[in-house]
Each structure stands twice: as C-alpha cells, then as structure tokens.
C-alpha cells in the first residue's frame, strides 16, 4: 500500500542506535528527516551516516520519534509535545507504563502521544552500529491507551510497517509485563549465570558446549543501557524474579538433601516444567510447530557448507533453519538443517545419495 | 596413528544413547563389540542398529565401557571388574567423584578402573537416537586417579581418539566442579527460566526474540536423566547455585528499591560481571578471540543462502561461524557471518559488489 506510507516530515530526537537506524530507513524511503540530540557530535555523525538533516528553526514535523534512554524519555516527550503542538509524538523506549504515567501526571497532551517499542535491540549500541534494516521482520509493539484516538495513532503503525516490522498492539501494562518475562528477566538470568564464569578455571571453560554458549550469549549486552531498562521496569521484573527465585530455592533445597523423600520429585518437576515452558516459544514462522532436524557432517574448509546448501536447494527443499555446531579443535563442523517433517526423509535420501555423511536427529 | 587404535574386544554395558553410539562407532572401525543391558529388548534394538553383537558366555573383553545411568554406575562397574578380572573398565557417566568413592569403599580393584565423560549429551535419549558421529570434535574427559597407572589407562584415551573426540585429563573432583559450572547449573537456570513461560500469554510469547530462544533452548532436556545427574553432583551444583542466588538476591533487592542509593550501581555491576564472564567462553577454534560479524539479508527461498555461501567461498574467505536470525512472519532472513577480523572489510566489499544487502555489525 504505497499510498499509505508515511510522507513526513519526521523529527527524530536522540541519534543513538535506534534513532539513527530509523532515520536511515526513512531517508532511504524519501522522507524528510530532521535530527536532534543533546550531543552535537552525535547529530553530526548521524547526518554523516545519511540518517537525515540537522534540525532547524521552523521545522514542522508531522511525527516526532523520541529515541532517548528510558530515564529521560518522558521529559523529552513532554517538551516535544509542547514544542510541536500539531505533531504526533511517539517513543521507542523498552518500558512503556512509567513514561505514560509521568506524562499524564505532568498534564501533557497525551491525545497526541502513543508509545511504541521496536523489538530490535542489539548487543551493540550507538549511531555507529545503526543500520536501516534492523527492524525487518521484528515485532514492533504499539502501546495504546484511552487518551488517544485510533485514527490519530495510525501513523505509528504505518511507521512500523514502512520499516519492515510487524506491529503488535497491547496496553502499556501488558507490554511491560510481557517484556519483563521474555526480555528483561532472561537478561538478568543470563548475566548472573555468565558472572559465575568470571572466576572459572581454563579447564572448566574448555568443556563449554553449545548449551553454555546459548544460555549466556546475551550477557554481553551494554550494562549502561540495561541498568536503565531494568530500573524503569523494576516492578514487573521483580515480580517474575520472585517466582523464579522461589523455584530456585525449591531446587536448591532439594539438591541439599538429594536423598530425602520428595527431593527427586521436586527436581524432576522443575525440569519437566521447563520442558513445558520452552515449548511455548513460537518458531521462525510464528508458529510453535516443531521442524525436523538432520545433522550433516561438513569439512571445515571454504565452500563445503555452500556445496551442501546448494545441493539442498537443487533437491527443491526449503531449509527452515540452519545451526552450526562449534567443534573446538576439530577439523569438521556439524550443520543442523531444519525442514518441515514431510521433507525429512526425502532430504536424508537426497543427501546420502550425494555422498554426505548424515545423522538423523529427529526423535 | 592407525597402529595405536583400539583392537578390542570391547564390551558395552547399557545400550542407551551413549552405549549404542559408541558401539556403532567401534563396530564401524572393525572392533568386536559385545552388548549387554538389563533390558533384553534394548539390546535387541542396539544389535539391529549394528552397534555390536549380543554378549555371550566366554566373552573376554579387553575393555568394558559402562554406559548406564549415574544412579547405578558404581554398582555396575564393580560387577564388571569382578566378572572380567583382566579387563580395563571405564564408564561415561556425567559425574565422576561419587562412583569412584563408592568403588573404593566397596573394595573394588580400581587399578583397572578409570572414569571418563564424553561431552556429547543431547536433548534426546535412547538407542533410537544413537549415531556413530556424536563424539566428533567434542571434549572427552578422562578422570584420572592415583590408583591406576598411566599405561593401564591409555586405552580409554585411545577410545576417545578413535571416536574423533578430544581427550582432556582432569581429576574426578575437577571434573565434577567444572561440569557443575558449565553444564549442570546452566541446565537448572535454563529450566527455571523456561518454567516462567508456562503461564505466559500468547501476547508475551509473540514478542520472543533470539535472546529468549537461546537462553531457554536446553530446557527441553530429558528430566529423568537430569534428575540423576543433578542429584549425583549435588554438592558441586549447590555450591555454584548458592553463589548464583546471592547475586540474584542482590539484584532483586536493588530492583525493589531502584531509586535507593547504590541500587543502580549494584545492577550495573551485575551486568558488567556478566560481560566479563561470557568473554571467558572459548570460540569455535578453542580460543577466546572474537570474530567479526557481517549480517547479510537473504530472501527466504530455496537456494539464496547457498548462493551467498558459494560467493563467500569464491572470494576465498573462510567462514568461522554462521547464525541465521529468526524473523517471525517475514519473508527474509538475516545471516550473520563470522570471519577473522582481517577478512571483514574484504568480505563486505566482495558481497556488496555482488549485490548483497549487508549490515556491518562489528563494533
């Protein structure tokens, strides 16, 4: 629907990773983007990157996008609402209830404000990491409230669509509870687990497998940003962490007396509950159906994996996912290929016929 | 060193995932493998799979490999030592100190016993999941003790090498502490985190990103096996979990009063300690050097990823790792290519010249 795209002009306040990325994407689409930041050098960098032009006297934006840290989001939104009395204002902070409450308490005109949250965070930050494509295929929460009309808010949904994201509507409270569960608590858990490795021996880390790598990967995130996110959503995060700690205490107590009556049952039930929980996570195509996996042995030299994927393509089979297993010290890699269950047998036959060594891992 | 390979005969007791997999691998190499299990139907299945022959009167194994659950490992090792007074006996259980202590206490001849642990666990179990290649490139711990001579234990190291694994020697106590840290505690943490998703709304799980997927993936592991592993290594696991809980308590207390003096510092330090810890995990080639990453946009249709990897190969660049990002509902995928830092600029130039849309993610 090309006739429904945002036409602009758009003003972006805050030229970090998200602000600069949005500016790049909108500029690519021909929108007039003006950029502002408390740091003149940050604006200069974003302008150099092609994210828009420097904001100027007389700018009259239709849409203002506030992309500043959570701590200062509400106050910046309030001044933008006051400075541009015709504009719709949104923000992209990872927390939504606090800023809205602050704005209402301050008497801001929230009939022109609706918060949003593109789920496109990264382990890197700053304009230097900005790219126009980081929103592609990612959820973008539109956090509605009763003070703004459906029609007035439409431009924010259009913004998400223009940037290739998938708009998802929910209330600010739902948003904050949801991201506490699927993003903020996992960050805390991963950071605390990775912390245990700080004093690990070389012998211990030499045994690290894919499980440890996966469970700790996001522990490399930026502490400065995350301390703000966690502090701003502390109520929702603490609520989940209390339940998590209660379960943890149960497992610790059981492991302190593993031969006591009921201990093994407690541990087994904790593990089984984890099975149930992980099955709730949707797959690549937004469904929880499981794919079948084949593991293929690939020599660790240029071209081998490409040859494998070429031959899968020649067989007319669509690969749903691909995971390479790390093999410290080994000269081979293991490529785990996910396909729809119906394609599994044919893929195994095709690859075997072409001489690939294959392990069928599907249960 | 073909002349140093195990010649057999080898007896395998316990025909689950590991026992059957070892049997398949040794049989492929021409070793005479005899199989025993308390379940006759399990042995029959393993024989059908080609993992060896049924054990018989008069068998005289040089090496006995006990592949039974941790709970019964020591008693089975003891009876094997008694039944085959010339044989070297090993086991593959995920815990090592307890079984050795039990054997010594029972007066078993531990001059012929050395425990081992192939780090090749999977989220699936049973002979039905067995494959000869699951040990390729994985660490295989040889858990030495003072009661056995270096020469007597050599066959177990040769077993690991024959199966393509990387032997790593450590004491039973070192092993148990190390796997508590890098395997057992991550399992508990992932299971408890995934448990929180059991009651999540559809709206919450629709926001799930790669971070949540990674942190919870191993929560799908088999509860029955893991309750034995955790119980058998409870001392070492509890020690790590106590430290983990102390850190967790600190973060919860800080988040309960995020505006109190020192709270933000506590949270920031927890996140920074996670940065330090995750940096300790070795990369694919057994080193902690970080690779540079390029993210390339790939249409979600057969052949596109193969074409990308073919062109990377044509450029003569060795890909160190590949990660596909899930894009729920989107028709594109993001391929994160890891290369040595020196190759990054050239790869970006080559791919851009060939028309790929690319995002340089390296900081």
| Per-residue confidence (pLDDT) for residue B331, from 0 to 100 | 52
Nearest CA to A255 out of A266, A242, A245 is that of A266
Q: Where in chain B is the domain with CATH 3.40.50.720?
A: 2-170
Given a cut of 50, the residues of chain A with pLDDT beneath it are 1-3, 284-289, 327-330, 360-363
Distances, alpha carbon B32 to alpha carbons A240, B24, B26, B62, B141, in Å: 55, 11, 8, 11, 24
DSSP B52: -
Give how far the C-alpha of residue B12 lies from the chain's centroid of Cα atoms, to the nearest Å: 21
Q: Touching check for A298 and chain B: CB below 8 Å?
A: no
Q: Touching check for A85 and chain B: CB below 8 Å?
A: no
Residue of B174, B207, B217 to mutate, testing the A interface (most A Cβ within 10 Å of its Cβ): B207
- Counting Cβ atoms within 10 Å, is residue A26 exposed (0-12), middle (13-18) or buried (19+)? buried
- Counting Cβ atoms within 10 Å, is residue B48 exposed (0-12), middle (13-18) or buried (19+)? exposed
Q: How far is B184 from chain A (nearest CA, A)?
A: 10
Q: Where in chain B is the domain with CATH 1.10.3660.10?
A: 178-278
Residue of B227, B283, B307 to mutate, testing the A interface (most A Cβ within 10 Å of its Cβ): B227
Is residue A204 within 8 Å of residue B152, measured between CB atoms? no
Q: B198, A280: Cβ pair inside 8 Å?
A: yes
Is residue B31 within 8 Å of residue B7, measured between CB atoms? yes
Q: How far is B94 from chain A (nearest CA, A)?
A: 12
Judging contacts by C-beta atoms under 8 Å, the chain A residues touching residue B323 are: 323-324
Closest partner residue to A215 (CB to CB) among B186, B241, B317 is B186
Q: Rounded CA gap, B29 and B14, in Å?
A: 20
Q: How far is B36 from chain A (nearest CA, A)?
A: 23
Q: Rounded CA gap, B318 and B313, in Å?
A: 7
Token pair recorded at residue A6? 């945002």
Distances, alpha carbon B103 to alpha carbons A212, B141, B244, in Å: 31, 19, 32
Q: Where in chain B is the domain with CATH 3.30.2130.10?
A: 292-360
Beta-carbon contacts of residue A270 (< 8 Å; ≥ 6 apart): A247, A250, A251, B188, B191, B192, B195
| Per-residue confidence (pLDDT) for residue B122, from 0 to 100 | 62
Q: How far is B151 from chain A (nearest CA, A)?
A: 23
Q: Rounded CA gap, A192 and A241, in Å?
A: 12
**E-strand stretches of B20-165:** 33-36, 53-54, 63-66, 88-91, 115-118, 139-144
Judge if ipTM > 0.85: no
Q: Rounded CA gap, A182 and B199, in Å?
A: 12
State the CATH class of domain B2-170.
alpha beta
Token pair recorded at residue A140? 């973008």
Distances, alpha carbon B198 to alpha carbons B84, B201, B219, in Å: 49, 9, 12
Judging contacts by C-beta atoms under 8 Å, the chain A residues touching residue B281 are: 197, 205, 208, 212-213, 216
Superfamily of domain A292-360: VC0802-like (3.30.2130.10)
Token pair recorded at residue B196? 């929180």
Is residue A141 within 8 Å of residue A116, measured between CB atoms? yes
| Per-residue confidence (pLDDT) for residue A4, from 0 to 100 | 63
Distances, alpha carbon A260 to alpha carbons A256, A263, A264, A359, in Å: 9, 6, 8, 41
| Concatenated DSSP letters of B113-128 | B-EEEES---S--SGG
Q: What kind and span of H or E run contains A360?
A: strand A358-360
Residue of A179, A185, A247, A271 to mutate, testing the B interface (most B Cβ within 10 Å of its Cβ): A271
- Using the Cα atoms of residue B241, residue B246, residue B249 and residue B251 in order, give the sign of their dihedral: negative
Q: A186, B329: Cβ pair inside 8 Å?
A: no
| Per-residue confidence (pLDDT) for residue B162, from 0 to 100 | 93
Residue of B183, B186, B201, B338 to mutate, testing the A interface (most A Cβ within 10 Å of its Cβ): B186
| Per-residue confidence (pLDDT) for residue B332, from 0 to 100 | 60
Closest partner residue to B328 (CB to CB) among A188, A243, A285 is A285
Beta-carbon contacts of residue A178 (< 8 Å; ≥ 6 apart): A170, B200, B201, B203, B204, B207
Superfamily of domain B178-278: 6-phosphogluconate dehydrogenase C-terminal like domain (1.10.3660.10)
Q: Rounded CA gap, B274 and B268, in Å?
A: 10
How many other C-beta atoms can be found within 10 angstroms of the C-beta atom of residue B123?
Answer: 15
Distances, alpha carbon B89 to alpha carbons A358, B25, B148, B176, in Å: 31, 18, 11, 20
Give the residue from chain A lying closest to B275, CA to CA. Answer: A220
Closest partner residue to B217 (CB to CB) among A183, A214, A241 is A214
Residue A164 — left, alpha, or beta (φ > 0 → left; ψ -120 to 50 → alpha)? Answer: left
Tens of pLDDT, residue by residue, chain B (363 residues): 344 678 779 999 999 989 999 999 999 999 999 999 999 988 998 998 899 999 999 999 999 999 999 999 999 999 999 999 999 999 999 999 999 999 999 999 999 999 999 998 665 667 777 888 888 888 999 998 999 988 888 999 999 999 989 999 999 999 999 999 999 999 999 999 999 999 999 999 999 988 899 999 999 988 988 999 999 999 999 999 999 999 999 999 999 999 999 999 999 999 999 999 999 998 643 333 457 778 888 876 667 888 888 888 888 887 877 777 644 444 566 788 888 888 888 998 899 899 888 764 433
Judging contacts by C-beta atoms under 8 Å, the chain B residues touching residue A284 are: 326-328
- Counting Cβ atoms within 10 Å, is residue A360 exposed (0-12), middle (13-18) or buried (19+)? middle
Q: Rounded CA gap, B21 and B163, in Å?
A: 10
């Amino acid at each position: 629907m090309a006739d429904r795209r945002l036409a602009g002009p758009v003003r972006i306040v805050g030229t970090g990773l998200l602000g600069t990325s949005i500016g790049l994407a909108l500029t690519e689409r021909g929108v007039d983007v003006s950029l502002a930041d408390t740091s003149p050098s940050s604006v200069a960098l974003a302008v150099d990157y092609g994210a828009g032009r420097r904001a100027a006297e007389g700018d009259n934006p239709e849409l203002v996008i506030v992309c500043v840290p959570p701590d200062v989001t509400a106050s910046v939104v309030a001044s933008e609402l006051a400075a541009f009395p015709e504009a719709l204002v949104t923000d992209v902070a990872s927390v939504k209830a606090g800023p809205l409450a602050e704005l209402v308490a301050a008497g801001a005109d929230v009939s022109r404000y609706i918060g949003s949250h593109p789920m496109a965070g990264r382990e890197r930050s700053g304009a230097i990491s900005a790219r126009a494509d980081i929103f592609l295929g990612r959820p973008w929460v539109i956090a509605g409230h009763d003070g703004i009309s459906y029609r007035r808010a439409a431009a924010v949904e259009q913004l998400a669509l223009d940037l290739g994201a998938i708009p998802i509507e929910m209330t600010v409270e739902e948003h904050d509870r949801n991201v506490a569960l699927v993003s903020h608590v996992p960050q805390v858990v991963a950071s605390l687990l990775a912390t245990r490795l700080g004093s690990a021996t070389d012998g211990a880390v030499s045994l690290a497998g894919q499980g440890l790598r996966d469970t700790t990967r996001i522990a490399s995130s930026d502490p400065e940003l995350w301390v703000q996110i966690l502090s701003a959503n502390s109520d929702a995060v603490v609520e989940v962490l209390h339940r998590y700690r209660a379960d943890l205490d149960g497992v610790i107590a059981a492991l302190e007396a593993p031969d006591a009556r009921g201990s093994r049952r407690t541990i087994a039930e904790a593990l089984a509950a984890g099975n149930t929980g992980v099955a709730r996570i949707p797959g690549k195509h937004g469904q929880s159906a499981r794919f079948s996996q084949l593991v293929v042995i690939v020599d660790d030299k240029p071209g081998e994996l490409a040859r494998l994927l070429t031959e899968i393509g020649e067989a007319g089979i669509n690969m749903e996912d691909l995971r390479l297993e790390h093999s410290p010290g080994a000269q081979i890699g293991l490529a785990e290929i996910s396909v729809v269950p119906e394609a599994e047998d044919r893929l195994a036959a095709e690859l075997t016929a072409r001489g690939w060594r294959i392990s069928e891992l599907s249960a």
